[in-house]
Structure 1
Amino acid sequence: MSPRTRRVLQALLYEAFAIAFVGPVLSFAFDKPPSSTLALAVVLSTIALTWNYVFNTFFERWESRQSVKGRSFARRLAHGIGFEGGLTVLLIPVMSLWLEISPLKAFVANLGLLAFFFVYAIAFTWAFDRLFGLPASAAKRHGV
């Protein structure tokens, strides 16, 4: 599978599962109608989908220049921190405006999602790699 196709498939699957989780959780947590929180989940997911593609493009470029190949736990941890940290910065203003809460309250609200998605990002990427194989940037080369 080409790197671009792999990134798109990974991002789409990741976000489909995310919407299915986030919509109902936000409805329950903020006592908002499911239609509103589902729409918010779609907006957040669209932002996350774009960020996922951009972040993974740069991450894989960096990864391809590393002398040690493969995806160790430390590399997966760095990936999760970088992805979720950047996403948090992008999502706080959106959540604040949509839910009509302060940016600080949006940040606090985002902490629960951040905890879930931090674990989810690592677990999903591991499962995706197991199902579809490692990308060329992380594959171990024979004779090197």
Structure 2
Amino acid sequence: MRTVRDRIRHAVSFELIGLALITPLGAWGFGLSLHDMGIVGVVSATLATLWNYVYNVAFDHALLRASGTTLKGPWTRVLHAVAFELGLLVVLMPFLAWYLQISLWDAFVMDAAIALFYMLYAWVFNWGYDRVFPLAEWQEQAQAGHHST
């Protein structure tokens, strides 16, 4: 399992890189000012960082209990990303509607588009993060014959 320090590094780096990508893309795609998209991005990133930490601890504990390992294959990564974004969607939609003065439907559509971006980004980021910062237990399991990611 990852340490608290490693989980914090993971969550913060995920959000900072994501924010650097989504702010200009979102401003362009949604026709918002960089300022408004920046506010949406910072508030969303703050909430997502907190959710990221809590979610990943819970997911890893559940995965360890269910399978005896925290090693994630491709389908586990898909489940991981989709469930994360669905939970975040519930949290962010009311904020988007309030801050941007848009309907809940428009907030849902915007949030769904952002969630789609982040699902793809989360898969790529987490795959890369696990390559840059692998856990020793994964190498041991791979050598013992378990399938790796």
Normalising by structure 2, we get a TM-score of 0.85
Shift of 1:102: 0.7
Report the equivalent of 1:111.
112
Matched-pair contact (CA < 8 Å) for 2:2–2:135:
no
User: Corresponding residue for 1:20?
Assistant: 20
Shift in Å at residue 136 of structure 1?
5.7
Q: CA RMSD in A?
A: 2.5
Q: Which residue matches 1:89? A: 90
The Cα of 1:13 is off from its aligned counterpart by 0.6
Query: Share of identical aligned residues, percent?
Result: 30
Tell me whether 20-29 or 126-135 shows the greater mean CA deviation: 20-29
1:1-144 equivalences under 5 Å are 3-67=3-67, 69=69, 70-134=71-135, 140=141
How many correspondences in the alignment?
144
> How many angstroms apart in 2 are the aligned matches of 1:75 and 1:125?
12
Deviations 1:2-55 (A, max 9, x none): 521111011011000111122222322343331222122100100000000010
Q: What stretches of structure 2 of length at least 5 have no aligned partner?
A: none
8 Å CA contact 2:82, 2:119 repeated in 1: yes
- Partner AA of 1:41 in structure 2: G
8 Å CA contact 1:81, 1:118 repeated in 2? yes
Paired AA for residue 40 in structure 1: V
